[in-house]
Amino acid sequence: MDPRSTFKKLLPAAAFVAALAVMPGLQSCSKTDNKAAGGSSSSALSSDAASAVYVAPGKHDEYYSFLSGGFSGQVAVYGLPSGRLLKVIPVFSQNPENGYGYNENTKPMLNTSFGFVPWDDLHHPKLSRANETTDGRWLFVNGNNTPRIARIDLKTFETVEIVEIPNSAGNHCSPYPTNNNEYVVAGTRFSVPVTAEGKLQDISLKEYKDKFRGTISFLKVDKDHGDMNLDFQIMVPGFDYDLANGGKGPSSDWIFFTSYNTEKAGTLKEVGASQNDKDYLLCVNWKLAAKYAAEGKAREIPANYAHNKMNHETNQATSTMKKTVRILLPEECPDMLYLVPVPKSPHGVDVDPSGENIVISGKLASVIPVHSFSKMQTAIKNKDYIGDINGIPVLKYESVLRAEVKEPGLGPLHTEFDGKGNAYSSMFVSSEVVKWSLKDFKVKDRIPVYYSIGHLLIPGGDTKDPSSKYLLAMNKITKDRYLPTGPELAQAGQLIDISGEKMKMLLDFPLIGEPHYAQAIAAEKIAPNSAKMYKLDANKNQYATRKEGDTKVVKNGNRIDVYMTAIRSHLTPDNIEGIEVGNEVYFHVTNLEQDWDVPHGFAVMGAQNAELLIMPGATNTFKWVPTKTGVFPFYCTDFCSALHQEMQGYARVSAKGSNVPIAFSTGEKRKAPSQP
């Protein structure tokens, strides 16, 4: 099956054929090993590739990679080069497996101005930076659907902070850390009805063209602890904004956003947003913007957004609603924003390690334009404008353009760099990775990928300091690449060796969720700092029980608090009576273990809840509102020892008002009730 057949309808037939015609090598190239179970790649090459990606039992991968889950809402951590899935980090979606978003500790993390939202669409992980390169401390990720930015702590591999973004809808071009982590920047994809006074709440969609605007948000990052704070926003024209990336070196003060639908088509954007020959690159001098904001140029307008934090000393998240946001208007802030024309409907924008070349991928374009930062500065100095939009000067395309990469392939989306003067662009429609030179802007190599590549990654490939060993292609469509699994198929990762002149395909492995962007980092930047457990002594959870003798059951009106401990191989207490239908029963379970990799689980039969998975030294809280009378077991769900199957108790639930006294036991002692 020809992978391109799926996409023929995307482009007018003539354009498609014309575009294919410029790539004579591609058709045969695509067919080389596009055959399931029985392709005929040379076995010597295959054995080389096998050895290159094989990580022998007990050895470790060289890189951590952090792949966005896309519509899973989570982050997947894969080891490279093995392609082994090391962990799924729950971020924006509930995770029944470990109780994230179900237990009382983490539920506040998913609070928003809309209430509890159990899902999001996570697209772009970005590692924190120091000294202009990745430092392995935190990972920032965006929630696209209900705009949010999350921060993951790479000591614990847990989500520790989520900030909702007001005046945004489709938080897609997000989150982009500046070069030294001063800010994480987030742009809205869909424009929204926002004014200098605040957001318009109920407005007819007929007013789209006139009343909808975009916004870009700047979250200040605490340099020691990583805590984020929405410092200010900038109001921008009512386009759709797609992707962004910060400058580096000479362009460090700048961040660049691609926009599309500059036509402001309010319906059937598939057609309406592809009318203009050019859309725009929005260039933001973030340092100047921060200065304007600091000088009081920002207006404070009403807003309503959640700021959620996980405290690892208490293992308890809290959610706070913020009520205002500061916004800068371009017309009041000269020199802060510029627009540069780019070929229609651009997607990715990527800045090369030198900070000079700004690569624009236009998914419908037949070339890859490369803009020059220094030429842009000259054009600004010379006021080489062709007009303005909402008071923002529009620079002349030719004055900023450095070069166009010719005949790159079909549907360029994203570009990463290898630090040896090469760029690698993903071609969605023609399903290939294309390597080209930053010296002469000529294509040097191309390799087919299966199928429909979106993002690609090189470790550090978006920094000034890329590795030049591996490239990971993340492909949207797999069709016949793996054993079939019914109508729903995995997406595909393909690991490519980029150390030589020619790219070499090493490994093809399925991915979970829908990966968009991803980042990778050398293992030694993270592994030595990884936490093994929580210290029981330092557990400040208000419901923690640090020794078995302190366990108790406390009834107070309709609420029952069970202070429980778990240690191999019993739960204390293990039999509880005195619960009535409709009571709110909170099991506060402390894992007393102080050894690596000995979590305990906790579940109650029939609870309308997931389980707890409690790490050593931590306390987690499970809420249960029994719906019927009976005796219901609870037990450890994580096989923890040879006596794990014995780690169990029962809860008796009596009818409302039956007044069975509170009683509980472990071993033969049956204790009297504690009363508050």
Could you say which residues in the range 64-123 bind a copy of itself, by CB under 8 A? Answer: 64, 69-73, 77, 79, 82-88, 93-94, 96-98, 102, 112-119, 121
Quick check: 549 binds a copy of itself (CB under 8 A)?
Answer: no
Which of 27, 47, 229, 499 touches a copy of itself by CB under 8 A? Answer: 47
Query: Residue from 267, 542, 659, 675 that binds a copy of itself (CB under 8 A)?
Result: 267
Nearest CA to 504 out of 555, 448, 557 is that of 448
Interface pick for a copy of itself out of 59, 381, 383, 439 (rule CB under 8 A):
59
Angstrom distances, CA of residue 460 to CA of 134, 457, 498: 7, 8, 14
Choices 318-326, 377-385, 388-396, 655-663; region in contact with a copy of itself by CB under 8 A: 655-663
CB 360 within 8 A of CB 281: yes
CB of 389 to a copy of itself, least distance (A): 21
Cβ-contact 143, 92 below 8 angstroms: yes
Binding mask 150-189 for a copy of itself (x = CB under 8 A): -----xxxx----------xx-x----------------x
| Residues in 442-481 at the binding interface with a copy of itself, rule: CB under 8 A | 450, 454, 476-479, 481
- Indicate left, alpha or beta for 519 from its phi (over 0: left) and psi (-120 to 50: alpha): beta
Q: Report the site for a copy of itself in 304-333 (rule: CB under 8 A).
A: none
Sign of CA dihedral 290, 296, 299, 302: positive
How far apart CA 361 and CA 518 sit, in angstroms, is 17
Q: Looking at beta carbons only, is 172 or 248 nearer to a copy of itself?
A: 172
Which of 601, 585, 580, 579 lies closest to 647 in space, CA to CA? 601
Looking at beta carbons only, is 328 or 492 nearer to a copy of itself? 492
Other Cβ atoms closer than 10 A to 268: 8
**Site for a copy of itself contains 657 (CB under 8 A):** no
CB of 38 to a copy of itself, least distance (A): 7
User: Considering the rule CB under 8 A, would residue 610 count as an interface residue with a copy of itself?
Assistant: yes
**Strand arrangement of the beta sheet that strand 575-580 belongs to:** 612-614, 600-604, 630-635, 648-654, 575-580, 663-666, 669-671
482 counts as binding a copy of itself under rule CB under 8 A: yes
Least Cβ distance, residue 351 to a copy of itself (angstroms): 21
Stretch of residues binding a copy of itself (CB under 8 A), selected from 193-201, 244-252, 352-360, 414-422: 193-201
Q: Which residues of 527-566 are buried (b: 16+ CB within 10 A; e: fewer)?
A: eeeeeebbebeebebebbbeebeebbbebeeeebbbbbbb
Q: Closer to a copy of itself at the Cβ: 178 or 654? A: 654
3-state SS, one letter per residue, for 598-652: CCEEEEECCCCCCCEEECCCCEEEEEECCCCCEEEEEECCCCCCCCHHHCEEEEE
Nearer to a copy of itself, 38 or 500 (CB): 38
Closer to a copy of itself by Cβ: residue 193 or 355? 193
Give the interface size with a copy of itself as a residue count (CB under 8 A).
187
Provide the minimum distance between the beta carbon of 197 and a copy of itself in the complex, in angstroms, as a whole number.
15
Tell me if 269 contacts a copy of itself by CB under 8 A.
yes
CA distance 183 to 186: 10
134 lies in the binding site for a copy of itself (CB under 8 A):
no
Residue 195 binds a copy of itself (CB under 8 A):
no
345 or 357: CB nearest a copy of itself:
345
Each residue 489-528 as x (binds a copy of itself by CB under 8 A) or -, in order, gives: xx---x----------x-xxxx-xxx-x------x--xx-
Residue closer to a copy of itself, measured from CB, 39 or 302 = 39
646: contact with a copy of itself by CB under 8 A: yes
* Residues 18-37 within binding reach of a copy of itself (CB under 8 A): 33-37
Quote the CA–CA distance of 240 and 423 in Å, as a whole number.
27
As a whole number of angstroms, the distance between CA 543 and CA 559 comes to 14
Neighbouring residues of 434: CB distance < 8 A, sequence distance ≥ 6: 408, 409, 412, 424, 425, 427, 443, 445, 446
Q: Token pair of 451, please?
A: 């199928």
Q: CB–CB of 375/399 below 8 Å?
A: yes
For position 198 contacting a copy of itself by CB under 8 A, the verdict is no
Contact between 599 and a copy of itself by CB under 8 A: the answer reads: yes
Structure-block tokens of residue 648: 């169990």
Q: Among 140, 257, 260, 470, which residue interacts with a copy of itself (rule: CB under 8 A)?
A: 260
Structure tokens at 623: 């809420």
Q: Whose Cβ is closer to a copy of itself: residue 178's or residue 619's?
A: 619
* Closest-CA residue to 613 (of 566, 645, 651, 552): 566
Q: Does 606 bind a copy of itself (CB under 8 A)?
A: yes
Distance CA 66, CA 63 (A): 10
Name residues contacting a copy of itself, limited to 210-249 (CB under 8 A).
240, 242
CB 436 within 8 A of CB 421: no
Q: Which residues, numbered 390-449, are part of the site for a copy of itself (CB under 8 A)?
A: 411, 428-429
Between 179 and 415, whose beta carbon lies closer to a copy of itself?
415
51 binds a copy of itself (CB under 8 A): yes
Q: Which is nearer to a copy of itself, 87 or 540 (CB)?
A: 87
Binding status of residue 342 toward a copy of itself by CB under 8 A: no
Could you tell me if 400 and 375 are in contact, meaning their C-beta atoms sit under 8 angstroms apart?
yes
Residue 261 engages a copy of itself in binding (rule: CB under 8 A): yes
Span from 244-252, 349-357, 417-425, 665-673 in contact with a copy of itself (CB under 8 A): 665-673
Distance CA 28, CA 32 (A): 7
